Structure 1
């Protein structure tokens, strides 16, 4: 976490500078776009939120030693706006002290999202030396790792806990790692750790029509040459493993084979463009990062893997070396980590948050597949009959890549089919993060499709519930909108119960701006109950249209 500026209440009350950008352009989707939303006023949102903070509202849990700083305003659906804040305590950054204030387009405060449960009151004098904290942290990746200078931080746990935060750069399992390690400044115990690196004109793709039906990607022309930089969607590009963007003398790319890296870039660019357009059209988000931009991608990783490292996505191939890991859902999954990182609360946090981050990638993968809505074998599509080599929509993850020879690596309709939990339990927060993704994945499937869609041949099988209830879905697009607004209420210490609480508040915010109904509120809660995620303290209990 960045060290915060020392700006006091008066500065917050007066309003801080904000960086905003215009909505991004995108292609027309194959489904009906949402009606135009009210024009939001970030200045009004910031002023109203600052007024709430300066008022001494009990819900902020402000202590006399706190300094609260506004970090920005994010736009959501229907003119919703999210004003994010961080705080320091006695001059030290507070991990878990961040919060979000939601307003409508005119700046009327609708809700807050705050994980901290009480004002902080803790000594800021450590008993452990910084050198010892660095040694403990280095042990997480081995002697060859590089360790930053440990920084004293307050963890918003109860009335507060003093820790050292250290960033450890190294590698594990053949891929880069960048661990944030929190060491108790009194006992030397490792309290939390998390890794910034998250795992998994006629252009010939492998996953988008193959050699039968050439696809199209947007590139950049300059001086008689072309590069794989999307001219319509800033920030999106595709390069080799060293970061050199692919270029050529013409605008025809790839050979449709599963081993060609240039073809892998065609697939990656096609998927990234679809995700960029989907978040604009379906979710009313301004680009993947919320400010009109996407991120670079690289292909050629010599592993059966793909990962997000905090600034770009890198893609390998399957274990059989016959296909690149650049199907729509895998690409959108990795870039989905970037969306998680670029919503309030960031991506840093404990193991339970890591599972929710992995699930977020899967959800954006599914949303992008359904937005593209490519055909299944034998279906008509763009005037031709699909025979092979498309990535039709479903709720499986990586099934087209066949990453390790066992088909899909996750199943959102029935996570237990691949050995992951369908239902929340006390073991889930400590579980390996890709397995733990099963619970929120299952919730999203039930929210989107319900428990009995009964259409397995078209990617919508029936889904078991943990409480035996029958659940009715709201549809994939509305489920995605609810999830996006939930992420806009995210805090740094994210848990399944907090996600449940935020999702219910997100629906109420959407109801307030005419983008949802109280039926959606009930179905969102039903889906959480159906995966056994317990209610959080203070979650909304009722809805009025």
Structure 2
């Protein structure tokens, strides 16, 4: 695979094979293994380290992709089956150093699978549940298929049903994947593979541009032979049926006015070409799917449709309010088509932290496409959808330099981020990228604060994008968290620029500046800072003035509450602004649970809200509260309330770390 920047490597002497016949004084470059060699080395490492990927004796693995670095290091990505059933969240990557020695794995799955493979409910029942779960018009429900869901907590046998139809607005297509527990019949979770961005617009954006088209009978058609024969077509303000390719007699398309239907097509065709070119030139990726093929761009979709979306195969643009403002801006095209890239490379999920990472990835590369295009009518910036005027007051959809300016996105990671809509939890990733690319404080694109008051010096957007893309390509998995993304981008920075290089240090500093800390060893030799997103609590015997842990598990009654107490004595200091509450709960439906911390003086802090749509099991999380006005001495209480009936669980333990 082409690398924009090659990693530095020492001369390598090869005994036999490739090195035979070289003069003794010659220096050989890094030896690049073939795909077969990379897979063979990865399979050998996998056989020796099955426990690292939580493998059972019934697991089987299939190579999905192979990434080879310029120094000969390899990253082999696998999918997993269990007794022949697909495993969601079972993906992993085996990393081997130059020469083939084992370096480690990146694993999405957290527990070994040990479930039965016979469903207790019929597929027809799962299909009915999936149909009921869909909010909008249903046109069909595929026959559910059995799989193992290992993406979140303990693996379970599940059905996947795909519900096809439209969203609640009646126009946006929907292809919703619904996972139903094959033993209980309850919905586990769902996600829609039609990715969308909402907005309004008032014009055509790119002005006079060059387009690649194809000569056809009687003139030309808007098929791009330079970009995998991607084409642009007219939906004629319908939601289904034939999309007609644009044709023209003299190869001069549109007038720049919305009254000419080809004007919106020019923007869409150009945006698709710029996205294709960016990935090919800057990241060595030949097309959205890596197969050299272009994708269709459908314009004039629906009636008064104020959206644009990617459905896994093609781009679609509505005409906006009153069919007068097509949503065909460059960064909208780059954003949506980048969903296809992230799905193909790492299959990023769409709930919890990874949902925000998924959306941030598309914002990052939508922005990079806009800068790459360098179009004078829509110059590069770190505002998302600034031309489509979604709010009617000239403000953009999102601000990467300070995400909270939109009133809903997060500048900094906190325990609330995984519970938020991915378009808002993306703020952490967007802010990270801006700081890494441009730095903190006053910049030409906006003033970017940091969460800890630190100063971050940017390394330039191309280097920042290279680090993010290589992490996505070689390390990220379907259940990626922000804490894991920190580690993966640091591995990427090491691969591309070297351990403790300026780029590596900048990546560390940028993550810390958005409150995502990690267990990576700082380059100044000091001790690593523990990460709040991947806690590893250390129980204490009876407690201390730094950390205290509860001593006994307590049952959580159905539709009731339980309160557990920890007594702290002999401590003179106050608690801190970064007091950590670590909670371990076993529960079959964690969305039922509301969790509150009660301080010694009776103040209550809500740690977790109940969420009827969060059907995953168990709570294993660390929450941060500002308790600096509290003394450590006294009785700290954790109250766990089961808000909805039907499930029970156990509060296994909890701890306070001051």
Q: TM-score, with normalisation over the residues of structure 2?
A: 0.68
Aligned equivalent of 1:525: 508
Q: 1:432 to 1:165 in 2, by over 3 A?
A: same
Matches within 5 A, 1:361-380: 361-375=362-376
CA distance in 2, matches of 1:247, 1:143: 34
Q: 1:68 to 1:437 in 2, by over 3 A?
A: same
Matches within 5 A, 1:132-151: 132-141=125-134, 144-151=138-145
1:139 is paired with a residue whose SS is helix
Q: Does 1:429 align with 2:412?
A: no
Q: 5+ residue gaps in structure 2?
A: 9-29, 198-202, 236-241, 525-658
Deviations 1:299-354 (A, max 9, x none): 1123111000111010113336443211111111111111111113x245535433
Contact 2:177–2:191 (Cα < 8 Å) also in 1: yes
Aligned equivalent of 1:162: 157
Aligned equivalent of 2:175: 178
Matches within 5 A, 1:146-225: 146-156=140-150, 157-172=152-167, 173=169, 174-200=171-197, 206-208=204-206, 210=207, 214-223=208-217, 225=219
Aligned equivalent of 2:647: none
Q: Does 1:316 align with 2:318?
A: yes
Aligned equivalent of 1:447: 436
CA distance in 1, matches of 2:229, 2:80: 31
Aligned equivalent of 2:282: 282
Bigger fraction of residues in strand: 2
2:232 to 238, 245, 250: 238
Matches within 5 A, 1:394-405: 394-405=381-392
Q: 1:351 to 1:542 in 2, by over 3 A?
A: closer
Deviations 1:506-526 (A, max 9, x none): 2222246xxx86221221122
Aligned equivalent of 1:61: 54
| Relative contact order higher in (CA < 8 Å, ≥ 6 apart) | 1
Q: 1:113 to 1:521 in 2, by over 3 A?
A: same
Q: 1:259 to 1:61 in 2, by over 3 A?
A: farther
Aligned equivalent of 2:546: none
CA distance in 2, matches of 1:146, 1:362: 32
Aligned equivalent of 1:380: none
Bigger shift: 44-53 or 331-340?
Answer: 44-53
CA distance in 1, matches of 2:522, 2:183: 44
Aligned equivalent of 1:499: 485
Structure whose CA Rg is larger: 2
CA distance in 2, matches of 1:57, 1:186: 28
Contact 1:328–1:365 (Cα < 8 Å) also in 2: yes
Aligned equivalent of 2:294: 294
CA RMSD of aligned residues (A): 2.8
Q: Does 1:509 align with 2:504?
A: no
Q: 1:283 to 1:104 in 2, by over 3 A?
A: farther
Q: CA deviation at 1:542?
A: 5.5
Q: Does 1:341 align with 2:321?
A: no
Aligned residues: 482
Q: CA deviation at 1:503?
A: 1.5
CA distance in 1, matches of 2:73, 2:225: 29
Contact 2:334–2:366 (Cα < 8 Å) also in 1: yes
Contact 2:370–2:379 (Cα < 8 Å) also in 1: yes
1:393 to 380, 384, 392: 380
Matches within 5 A, 1:76-95: 81-95=74-88
CA distance in 1, matches of 2:35, 2:436: 31
Deviations 1:452-497 (A, max 9, x none): 2522xxxx21201112211111110011111111211222223322
Q: CA deviation at 1:90?
A: 2.1
1:486 to 457, 471, 490: 471
Q: 5+ residue gaps in structure 1?
A: 1-21, 25-32, 376-389
Q: 1:396 to 1:108 in 2, by over 3 A?
A: farther
Q: Does 1:541 align with 2:527?
A: no
